[in-house]
Structure 1
Amino acid sequence: MSERTPMSKPIRTRIADLMHAAWVGAAGRASRTVLASLGIALGVAAYVALSGIAASNQAALLAQLDALGANLSVVAPGVDAAQQKVPLPDYAPTTIARQPQVERVGVFDTAPEKVQIFKNGLCPKTNGNALALAIMRPGALDAVGASLAQGHGIDANNEHLPVAVLGSDAAYRLGVNEPGDRILIDNAWYGVIGILNPTPQAESLNAAVIIGEQWALGRYPDQTDTIGRISAIYVRTTPGDAEGTRRTLAHAANPAGGNVSVTASADLSKARNTTNDSLTTLGLMIGVIALAVGGMSIANMMIVTVMERRGEIGLRRALGATPGNIRMQFVTEAALLSTLGGFAGIALGAGAAIGVAASAGQPIALDWTSLPLAWAAAILVGILAGLYPASRAARLTPTEALRGE
C-alpha cells in the first residue's frame, strides 16, 4: 500500500518579510527609486501647491465680494398703508443677533433734523455742504465692514464725548486731512478721531459725519424720542441664500409682523456662491490630474522594474513562491515608493503654496486637514498603479523568467 504524499501548503509571507523585500527592492536600485518617487512627489506637490494657491486666491476674491456687501443686509423701518414709517422695535438688534446665520450687527439711530456741519464758524450758515449726520452705536462700523484710513472709531469708551468719525467724502469736503482736527456741528466743536476709507457697501457713510449715540442724546435733549429710534441695522451674515436670509431677518426684526424693509445684494450673493463652487471644482480637477500623472510615473517605473528583475522572480518562483507572493511583493514596493514620494510632495507643495500666498499678500488658505488625505490618496494611486506590473510579474512561470534572464 503506497503512502500518500502530504499536500504542500502555499508559502505564506509574513508582513515583516514583505516589507523587508519591498525595501530591499527599492533601496537596491536607488536611482530608479528616486525617479519613481519623484514622479509621485511632483504629482502630490502639484496637487497641494495648486490647490493651496487656488484656495488663497479664492479666499481673497471672496473677501473682496464680502467687502462689497455680498453678505451684508440692511434692516430699516418699513412703511404702512399711509406711507408712514413704522419704527423698528427696540429689541430688533437683539433678536436679529440671535439668528444662527448672523455674524455681526451694527445699529445706527435717527439723526436730528436740519443739522449744520462746517469746518469752522466762518462759513455762512446759509451754505449747505450736503453732509449728513449719522449716529452710531458701538460696533456698527465693524458690522458694515468699514475700515479706517486714519485714527480710530467710536466705542463704549468715547461715545459719550464730542468726537466724530468722518466718511471719506465728508473729510474731503471739510478739508480735514488727519485726526486731531476739529469741526463745527450745530455750533458745537467736535474733535475728529478717525477718517474712513471709501465704503462702497454703505455709500451713505461716505458723505456722513458720525458721532456716538450717548453724546447725541445728551446734546439734543429735545429730540431724544427721535434719536432713540433705529434708522438702520447693518447685518453681516454667513454667505448663503440672500432671499432666505431676507425673510428670516424681517421676521426676527419684528416678530409681531410689522412692516420691515430688508435690502441685500442678491446679485453679489449669487456671484459669490457661483465663484466659490467654480473655484472649488477647479481645484479638485487639478488635484485629480496631478495625482493621475504621478500614478502613471509609478506604473511606468514598476513595469521597467519587473522586466529587469525577471531572474529574481524566476528564482523565487522556483523556490516555491506563489503568484500571490510575487504580486504582493511588487504592490508593496509600489506602495512604499508612493509613500515616500507622497511625503516629499506634501512638504514641497505646502511650502510652495505658503510662499506664493505670502508673496502675493493673500490669506494662507491651505487646508491642513486635507494633507493626510492627499498622502493617503497618493498611496492609493501608487497601489493601483502597481497592480498591473505586479500581476504581470505574477503570471511569469519559473521557466519563462529564468529563460528571459
Structure 2
Amino acid sequence: MATLTPARLRPRDIAHVGSAGLRGRPMRVVLSALGIAIGIATMIAVVGISASSKEQLMRRLDQLGTNMLVVTPGDSMFSGERAKLPKDAPAMAARIAGVEQVAALGALPYPVYRNDRVDELDTNGITLSAAAESLLAALRGRMAKGSWLNAANGRYPSVVLGHVAARRLGITEPGRQVYLNGRYFTVVGILAPLPMAEEIERSALVGWKAAQDLLAFDGHPTSIYERSTDESVVKVRDLLPRTVNPEHPEEVEITDPSAALQAKAASAGAFTNLLLGLGAVALLVGGVGVANTMIISVLERRHEIGLRRALGSTRGQIRLQFVTESLLLSGLGGLAGVLLGAAATWIYATSGGMPWVVPPWAMAGGFTATLAIGTVAGLYPAVRAARTSPTVALHAT
C-alpha cells in the first residue's frame, strides 16, 4: 500500500480541514442538544417546584408554630355517645406549667344562611360555634377584613366568618347580615385563612356571651386550643387529659394540627422521586441522541479524519477531538436545561405565591450529569473515528 504524503493530497481533502466541529449539521445538533436540555429542565423543575413547595410549608409551620395542641371530647365509655368537656376545662388547662395560651370553641347546632329565604337544606356546610376572645391569638390568626370578637361586640348578635364560609355565603365585606336561629346577625369581620384550623375556616363564630344569651349555649367547650413552650409540648400533651377532665381522662382526645403539615412536608420527596425518574429517562434519551449525532458525524467526516491522521495526528488526538465535541454538545444542552428548569420553577412559584427555591446541588448535579452523558455518548464514536484508516478515508468516495 502506498504511503500518503502531503504532496499527494487532493485539494478537496485539504478543504475538509475547515469543516471540523459541529458545523454543517445544525438541525441534528439542535435536536440532540434539545433532548439533553429537556431532560435536565425536567429534573431541575421537579426538584425546584418540590423545594419551593416544601419551603412554603416550612415557612408556614414556622409562622403558625408546632406547639399547639387541640383538646376535643371523645366517646363516652358508658353511653357510647359524644362526651362533654367540663365548663372550666379551659381554665384548668391554663394552669399546666408551660402552657402559654388557651382558647375555647363551642359548637352550636344551628345552620347559617344568607337570609331567611334560603332553603333550610341549603346549609353550604357552614357550622356555627361560640368562640372565646382569646381564640384568634391562640391560633395566630389574623383578620382579612373587619374586627375580631371582643368584650363589646361579643355580647350582641354579631358574627365573624371564616374565609371559606364567607365565600360560600357570598359575603365579601363586614356590615352584611346572616340569618341563624330565627334572627339576623351582623358580620363584623372575615378571617384570613387558617391552615392549622380548617374547621374554623368553614365556620361562623359568635361571642361566648352572645351564644349563651341568644342561642342557649350550655357553656361546654367542644374544642380547646392550647399553646405551650416548645420544650413543654410532650409533657403538656401527657397532662392535658387528666387536667381538663379528671373524672374521665379516657374521654379526652388530643390532636396536633401541625402534624398534617409536617407529614406533607416529609412526603414531598416521594412524588418528587418518581418525577426525577421520568427526567432521568428523558436525559438518557437525550444522551442517545448525542451518541447518534456523533456516530453520523464520524461517517460524514471520514475525509477530515483521514487527512488529520495523514498529517500526523495520533489516535489519542482524534479520540480527544470527538469526546470534546460530544461534551460541548451535551454541555450546551445541559446549560440550556438548567436555565429552562429554573425559569419553569420561577413561573410556577410566582403564580402560586410560593418562594422561588432551586437547590444549588440540583443545578450542579444536573450539569454534571450532562457532562457524564456527553462523555459516555462520545466514547464509542471517538474510538471508531480513531480507528479509521487514513488511506481508506481519503480515497473513499
Q: Same fold (TM over 0.5)?
A: yes
> Which residue of 90, 94, 102 maps to 2:94?
90
- 2:70–2:255 CA contact under 8 A, matched in 1: yes
The 3 A distance-change label for structure 1 pair 402 and 379 is same
Structure 1 residue 182: deviation in Å? Answer: 7.7
Structure 2 equivalent of residue 289 of structure 1: 281
- Matching of residue 324 in structure 1 with residue 316 in structure 2: yes
Structure 1 equivalent of residue 20 of structure 2: 25
The 3 A distance-change label for structure 1 pair 234 and 384 is farther
Structure-2 separation of matches of 1:306 and 1:343: 25
- 1:45–1:346 CA contact under 8 A, matched in 2: no
Unpaired stretches in structure 1, ≥5 consecutive residues: 1-21, 97-105, 120-129, 221-225, 236-247
Amino acid at match of 1:279: F
Structure-1 separation of matches of 2:311 and 2:104: 90
SS at match of 1:26: coil
Structure 1 residue 325: deviation in Å? Answer: 1.9
Structure 2 equivalent of residue 309 of structure 1: 301
Amino acid at match of 2:153: P
- Matching of residue 209 in structure 1 with residue 205 in structure 2: yes
- 2:29–2:293 CA contact under 8 A, matched in 1: yes
Structure 1 residue 331: deviation in Å? Answer: 0.6
Unpaired stretches in structure 2, ≥5 consecutive residues: 1-16, 115-126, 214-218, 243-248
Aligned residues: percent identity? 31
- 2:39–2:286 CA contact under 8 A, matched in 1: no
Cα displacement string for residues 13-52 of structure 1 (whole angstroms, at most 9, x for unaligned residues): xxxxxxxxx998336x1x4255324322343235425763
Structure-1 separation of matches of 2:307 and 2:169: 93
Structure-2 separation of matches of 1:309 and 1:176: 73
Cα displacement string for residues 310-368 of structure 1 (whole angstroms, at most 9, x for unaligned residues): 23323333344332222111111111111222223333454455557767x57576635
Q: What count of residue pairs does the alignment treat as equivalent?
A: 324
Residue correspondence of structure 1 range 152-231 to structure 2 within 5 A? 152=146, 154=148, 162=153, 164-167=159-162, 178-180=173-175, 192-196=187-191, 202-203=198-199, 206-211=202-207, 231=223
Residue correspondence of structure 1 range 216-365 to structure 2 within 5 A? 231-233=223-225, 251-254=235-238, 258=242, 261-263=253-255, 272=264, 276-352=268-344, 354-355=346-347, 363=354
SS at match of 1:193: strand
Structure 1 equivalent of residue 367 of structure 2: 375
Structure 1 residue 284: deviation in Å? Answer: 0.7
Structure-2 separation of matches of 1:205 and 1:348: 38
Deviates more, 1:349-358 or 1:327-336: 349-358
Structure 1 residue 302: deviation in Å? Answer: 0.7
- 2:298–2:385 CA contact under 8 A, matched in 1: yes
Structure 1 equivalent of residue 121 of structure 2: none
Structure-1 separation of matches of 2:152 and 2:342: 50
Cα displacement string for residues 358-384 of structure 1 (whole angstroms, at most 9, x for unaligned residues): 67x575766353234322222221221
Structure-1 separation of matches of 2:315 and 2:32: 28
- 1:56–1:357 CA contact under 8 A, matched in 2: yes
Structure 1 equivalent of residue 383 of structure 2: 391
Structure 1 residue 396: deviation in Å? Answer: 2.5
Structure-2 separation of matches of 1:177 and 1:374: 47
The 3 A distance-change label for structure 1 pair 24 and 76 is farther
Structure 1 equivalent of residue 70 of structure 2: 75
Amino acid at match of 1:32: R
Amino acid at match of 2:235: H
TM-score by length of 2: 0.57
Structure-2 separation of matches of 1:356 and 1:175: 29
Deviates more, 1:335-344 or 1:345-354: 345-354
- 1:339–1:379 CA contact under 8 A, matched in 2: yes
- 2:107–2:129 CA contact under 8 A, matched in 1: no
Amino acid at match of 2:37: V
Amino acid at match of 2:326: A
Structure-2 separation of matches of 1:198 and 1:167: 7
Cα displacement string for residues 220-274 of structure 1 (whole angstroms, at most 9, x for unaligned residues): 9xxxxx99x9952278xxxxxxxxxxxx955343569945632368997899589
- Matching of residue 41 in structure 1 with residue 34 in structure 2: yes
State the superposition RMSD in angstroms: 5.8
SS at match of 2:130: strand
Amino acid at match of 1:290: A
Structure-1 separation of matches of 2:135 and 2:317: 75
The 3 A distance-change label for structure 1 pair 177 and 91 is same
The 3 A distance-change label for structure 1 pair 161 and 38 is farther
Structure 1 residue 62: deviation in Å? Answer: 12
Structure-1 separation of matches of 2:274 and 2:25: 33
Cα displacement string for residues 76-99 of structure 1 (whole angstroms, at most 9, x for unaligned residues): 177999987566642769569xxx
Structure-2 separation of matches of 1:23 and 1:262: 78
Deviates more, 1:48-57 or 1:168-177: 168-177
SS at match of 2:189: strand
SS at match of 1:345: helix
Structure 1 residue 276: deviation in Å? Answer: 3.6
Structure-1 separation of matches of 2:202 and 2:41: 42
Structure-2 separation of matches of 1:262 and 1:23: 78
Structure 1 equivalent of residue 6 of structure 2: none
